[in-house]
Amino acid sequence: MRCKGLLSLVALLASGSIADIAPLYRSRPYDIGAYDRWPHQLYHSSSAIGPILNYHDNSEECMDDALYTVVPYWGKQVNIPGVMLLDSEGYLVWHNTGYVTGDIQSFGGEDYIVALAMDSTHYALINTRYEEVYQIRVGNGWNLDAHELTLTSFGTALIVFNGVVPVNETSFNAPEGVEFLFESGIQEVDIKTGEVVFEWRASDHFTFEEFFHFQPSDGRTETTAPDLFHVNSIEKDKLGNFLISCRMMGSIVYVDGRTGAVIWKLGGKGNMFKDLSGGAAVGFNGQHHARFHDGWQRISIFDNGNCPGRPVTGPTRGIALLLDTENMTVELEHEYISPNHALTDNSGSMQILDNGNVVLGFGPNANWAEYSSNGTLLCNVHMGPETWFNSGEIRSYRISKGAWVAQPQTDPEIAVVDDRVYVSWNGATEVSTWVLKVVGEGAEGDDVYLGEYPKSHFETEISIPSSYTGGDLFVNALDRAGRTLGSTRAVQLAQKSRPRLIDQQI
């Protein structure tokens, strides 16, 4: 596949219509930092920031042109955190620095990028014109938690909250001397009104004995309040009940959506299921991103294999489990081991696509991977040097794929550098062709057509043709049907461009 990609790259270079740095393939210099600790690229026509990726495995089975990969990123080496939307070949489609998490979800029949604002004050629902249509905030005086915002079919959003509370204001039976604890829970919020319609606090439904890690000094002051629960994912099913992951308890809980009562617990010290796989199904450790599939018969979990206070059980893996809630049994259906058996000590995600493929994001390991349903590794992508995996240099909470069709409210952008035109449109998914023109230089004042150029990845480079004799240049964006979607501003050249030696050689 890489050979095919290289031939395509050569062809595009020969036509003078590519500006992006292509993804690399199994580059050792990349993985030891030769492309910087945060490998990224800038563009002539746009202020957007794009990735430089290093594919260690790549398969056509990962390349569905209808799906885009959402890559939020931040870290110690990242001076400009943000969210990227990438096409199936790893090239930038959209970039925004205003957010630090993101994925594609639906509400009211419309698709949105759901993202956490940079200042962590709210989650935003961003429409296909890249406008913030809704802002979701936590209620009842709690702090917004960055772990989760999930849209439901009930017109609501599920959000995680946290906050330090006095033990005597909870029903939690803490040990003597513990005065404060770090509460965690969920809220269901009406998207349009912001009203909190349901709230669930973890301290009402766990015992201290279920916790794995405790220091004698924990909880004597507000600043040492123990993080006993650490809710990090929520899902609401069609019955109106909730699936909640509590990392520090090593437990996935299923909660009645009317009363808040726990219906069952999977994993942890309070586990209610018999493991038919000898411990491989309930032995997850420091887990994230629990989701139902096929009704209530399957559940997917990102198993970090590592959590404070417990022995490491890694490597990190994604697991698909089969549940029998009548007989209260669970069985490991598939597991998806992280490439190179890497250990992800926090964060991470698991997504099962409609075609059965599985996408894992590895949090502080600047890496994601896609597998076939049977566990075969298809694609393994590094977005940062492997040397600094798990160091926090570059990280992403979750990485996901989704369908997305968008036309920005902004105009496409243009720049002229060394007698070449560069054109891009941050976030546009439907541009097929760029048409280069001169403003009003025709015999009757019409715009003069200079040529059509296929859109290539994020930024397209166009050699100014020899037929150009002067005047302001602009570019139209056309879709596959030849309809004009937008136009750049007009730019002026100081003089007629001369033929380039590189063009003559090609």
Beta-carbon neighbour count of residue 60 at 10 Å? 11
CA distance 151 to 480: 32
Task: Provide the residue type at 314 as one letter.
Answer: G
HSE value, Cβ hemisphere, 13 Å, CA-based, for 223: 0
If one compares 477 and 177, the residue with the highest pLDDT of the two is: 477
For the chain, percent of residues with pLDDT exceeding 70? 93
pLDDT at position 6, please?
37
pLDDT at position 443, please?
62
Q: 465: which DSSP letter?
A: P
**E strands, 326-455, where?**
329-337, 349-352, 358-361, 367-371, 377-382, 400-403, 413-417, 420-424, 433-438, 448-454
pLDDT tens-digit map of 262-320: 999 999 999 999 999 999 999 999 999 999 998 778 999 999 999 988 899 989 999 99
HSE value, Cβ hemisphere, 13 Å, CA-based, for 314: 18
pLDDT tens-digit map of 50-73: 999 999 999 999 999 999 999 999
pLDDT tens-digit map of 115-164: 999 999 999 999 999 999 999 999 999 999 999 999 999 999 999 999 99
The pTM for the full model equals 0.92
pLDDT tens-digit map of 426-481: 999 999 999 999 998 766 678 999 999 999 999 999 999 999 988 999 999 999 99
Q: 375: which DSSP letter?
A: S
Does the pLDDT value for residue 215 go beyond 80? no
Whether the Cβ atoms of residue 158 and residue 149 lie closer than 8 Å to each other? yes
CA distance 362 to 370: 11
Whether the Cβ atoms of residue 217 and residue 244 lie closer than 8 Å to each other? no
